[in-house]
Structure 1
Amino acid sequence: MRIITSLFLINIFSVFLFFSTVEETKVEMVTTHGTIVVKLYDETPLHRDNFIKLAQDGVYDSLLFHRVITGFMIQAGDIKSKNAAPGERLGSTDLGYTVPAEIRPDLFHKRGVLAAARNNNPTRASSSTQFYLVQGIVHNDSLLDYEQGRINTRLRQHAMMNDPEIKPLMDSLSAANRRRDVAVVNQITSQLDSIERSYSKIDKYIIPEAHRQVYKEIGGKPHLDQNYTVFGEIISGLQVVDSIAAVQTDSRDRPIANVRILSMRIVEK
């Protein structure tokens, strides 16, 4: 009897574990070019929960895809874009808070992923509202090697920004920028460039072989890996991303004809 009870408990636990594993949050994004459905990763709970709340509150409804670059990505989430005039500069507005970075080595910028935009802050915290969907391109090995170099350049820059020994120089650069002292800015920038070329206080990043295969088969944008938070992926509607990425844009990458998010809603939890 004791054995039967133990087996019953094991079976109940297995069923619970199965359902807790397969459940995922899906968000339906209806746009003027069609409908996209994304699933949100449980591995990035801060970004998942923030995105769910914004969608439920209707924050994204009527916002524009304000930055579109074919072969790269489509970006939305600027709060000001809802009522933006034609040609107005967009891309700098959100809700005024940030989401702590959740950069994971297993989540990468393959075609179709959802990731968080951000400014050049030292903690790599994400914008409260701005996100992008990756279109990307297919890569070969030589291009992946080049992109790997770009990843490591960004990682060096991030490490330098947070290095206590370099912080005084970074503070001086910020102060010179505020004063608009071009001569001092150029001088400090030159110093930092020289330091960066020989900076070695990071572990060199190597694109995992499994990631390389994905980039060679379906494409993506690997140079963003390990620098921006990836927190979901498209499970339906990749063709909509391609359609939006193909629109005509101005010199600031804003679509000439508005491309709008009509609505967002949670379709499964």
Structure 2
Amino acid sequence: MKKVITLCLVLFLGVATAFAKPPKNQYVRIKTSYGQCIIRLYNETPKHRDNFIKLAKEGFYNGTLFHRIIQNFMIQGGDPDSKNAKPGQALGEGDLKYRVPAEFNDTLFHKKGVLAAARDNNPEKASSASQFYIVEGKRYTDEDLDKLEQGRLKGFKVPEWQREWYRSVGGTAQLDHGYTVYGEVVFGLDMVDRIAAVKKDAKDRPLADVPMTVEVLKRRECRRMDKLTGLRK
């Protein structure tokens, strides 16, 4: 009888797991010696989301460096050449043999904590296959944003709800409409601030290497993160 009950419980749990609702979002964890953060990848940018997940599952990012940091702006990583880079070696030109098509969305912008794709100067504004940055940024005044609208944003208007973010939390508004934003830090933003504050050389590379590991969270962890961030209805 006990064996029958045990078997029924196993079958019930298996069925319950199989029919459990999938998470609404995919999350990744970035670990460094300065702490860790959890990033939600945006469903609105599926090409960038899926590319990042693929590389992370392959272990591509493990051992790469945050090779370029600019305080009050961003921290950048994902250069494959950084894995075995010598001290002082110039980094930032390494990449894979493809680009990811740009995925611009007016609701996604460069507020503090977002994950965005680095790129070279190409007319399609297609993204690097592997290099990314996380925004630290700064706060803006309305006057600052007005000037950007007439200058680097080339006539794009910053909506009031985004202006409120830029005034109160900060970001890098000058990059909007130029680089694809495809995720945001939901926990551990202090890691970004710590890395952004480290000492660096004249080429913005940290004097002491900042390697990372990137892990794709499992389904049950993603469901939990959806609940914690209020994204599961």
TM-score norm. by structure 2 comes to 0.83
Find the counterpart in structure 1 of residue 210 from structure 2.
259
Measured against aligned partners, the alpha-carbon deviations of 1:139-195 in whole angstroms (never above 9, x if no partner) come to: 111111122234334xxxxxxxxxxxxxxxxxxxxxxxxxxxxxxxxxxxxxxxxxx
Q: Which runs of 5+ in 1 are unaligned?
A: 1-18, 154-203
Equivalent pair of 1:29/1:264 in contact (CA under 8 Å): yes
Identify, as 1 or 2, the structure richer in helix: 1
Q: Cα 1:84–1:237, aligned 2, differ >3 Å: closer, same or farther?
A: same
Write the deviation string for residues 212-241 of structure 1: whole angstroms up to 9, x where unpaired. Answer: 011001100000001110000000110000
Unmatched tracts of structure 2, length 5 or more: 1-20, 223-233
**Shift of residue 105, structure 1, vs aligned partner:** 0.9
* Aligned sequence identity (%): 49
Partner residue of 2:194 out of 229, 243, 263: 243
Contact 1:56 1:266 in 2 (8 A): no
Kept after mapping to 2: 8 A contact 1:67/1:255: yes
- For 1:111-190, list aligned pairs within 5 A: 111-153=112-154
Structure 2 distance, partners of 1:92, 1:208, is 34
Q: What is the alpha-carbon distance in structure 1 between the residues aligned to residue 201 and residue 148 of structure 2?
A: 27
Q: Is the 8 A contact 1:27 1:267 kept in 2?
A: no
- The aligned counterpart of 2:169 is 218
Question: 2: CA distance between counterparts of 1:256 and 1:149?
Answer: 37
Q: State the structure with more CA Rg.
A: 1
Q: How large is the RMSD of aligned CA atoms in angstroms? A: 1.3
Aligned residue for 1:169?
none
Supply the distance in 1 between the matched residues of 2:90 and 2:73 (Cα, whole angstroms): 20
Aligned partner of 1:67 in structure 2 is: 68
Residue 82 of structure 1: how far off its partner (Å)? 0.4
Q: Aligned residue for 2:231?
A: none
Report how far residue 96 of structure 1 moved: 1.6
Distance of 1:76 and 1:267 partners within structure 2? 23
**Superposition map of 1:93-104 within 5 A:** 93-104=94-105
Partner of 1:87: 88
> What is the distance in 2 between the residues matched to 1:85 and 1:26?
32
Aligned partners of 1:147 and 1:244: how far apart in 2? 27
Distance verdict in 2 for CA 1:89–1:97, change over 3 Å: same
